């Protein structure tokens, strides 16, 4: 009798990494209305620029969720350079498998289809008052609280109610 050994499948990103321009990072953090005690989760955090900027500008804690080990290494190095490594952490994990309940702000630069798939998770895990800010892409048919255009690009925000 033979045994079947299941190969461990490494998750692969649904989208490829595209850095968020600095002016969009600034607009996202402004829409997030960061304050004392906030915890920013950046889903698909890439090089960590959003949570690093949040920690530098507002002194808040940040968590970057990213699949790519190389980008996690870059993010950790950038956090050290920015002197915020005590405020930010980067986790190599699947955003769909990550518990988001600690977040008070969630930032996204994903895709329309990934945002739509993420919607139920956001509704289920985020507490009322949590802000969500998305670069470029809406979340299905959710009506944003705000929609600003920066350099021709939309930045959307919603509040969980």
Q: Domains (ranges, CATH) in the chain?
A: 22-159 (3.40.50.150)
Distance CA 105, CA 38 (A): 7
Structure tokens at 67: 């699949």
Q: What's the pLDDT at 33?
A: 98
Q: What's the pLDDT at 14?
A: 62
Q: What's the pLDDT at 137?
A: 97
Distance CA 47, CA 64 (A): 9
Is this structure's pTM higher than 0.75?
yes
Strand order in the sheet with 105-108: 88-92, 61-66, 39-43, 105-108, 131-135, 153-159, 146-150
Q: What's the pLDDT at 16?
A: 83
Distance CA 159, CA 103 (A): 12
Q: What's the pLDDT at 3?
A: 45
Residue 156: exposure state from Cβ atoms within 10 A (0-12, 13-18, ≥19):
buried
Q: If you search the block for the tokens 């490594």, which residue do you land on? A: 85
Q: What's the pLDDT at 4?
A: 44
Beta bridge partners of 107: 42, 133
pLDDT tens for the 161 residues of the chain, in order: 444 444 444 455 567 899 999 999 999 999 999 999 999 999 999 999 999 999 999 999 999 999 999 999 999 999 999 999 999 999 999 999 999 999 999 999 999 999 999 999 999 999 999 999 999 999 999 999 999 999 999 999 999 99
Q: What angle do CA 84, 89, 90 make, to 5 degrees?
A: 125
């Amino acid at each position: 009798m033979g045994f079947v050994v299941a190969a461990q499948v490494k998750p692969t990103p649904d989208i490829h990494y595209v850095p968020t321009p600095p002016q969009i990072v600034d607009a996202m953090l402004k829409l997030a209305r960061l304050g004392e005690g906030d915890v920013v989760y950046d889903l698909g955090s890439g090089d960590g620029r959003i949570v690093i900027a949040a920690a530098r500008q507002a002194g808040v804690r940040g968590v970057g969720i990213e699949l790519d080990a190389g980008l996690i290494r870059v993010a950790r190095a950038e956090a050290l350079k920015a002197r915020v490594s005590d405020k930010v952490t980067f986790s190599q994990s699947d955003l769909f498998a990550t518990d988001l309940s600690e977040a008070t702000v969630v930032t996204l630069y994903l895709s329309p289809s990934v945002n739509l798939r993420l919607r139920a998770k956001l509704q289920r895990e985020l507490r009322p008052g949590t802000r969500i800010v998305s670069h470029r892409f809406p979340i299905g048919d959710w009506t944003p609280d705000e929609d600003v255009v920066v350099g021709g690009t939309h930045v959307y925000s919603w509040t969980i109610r």
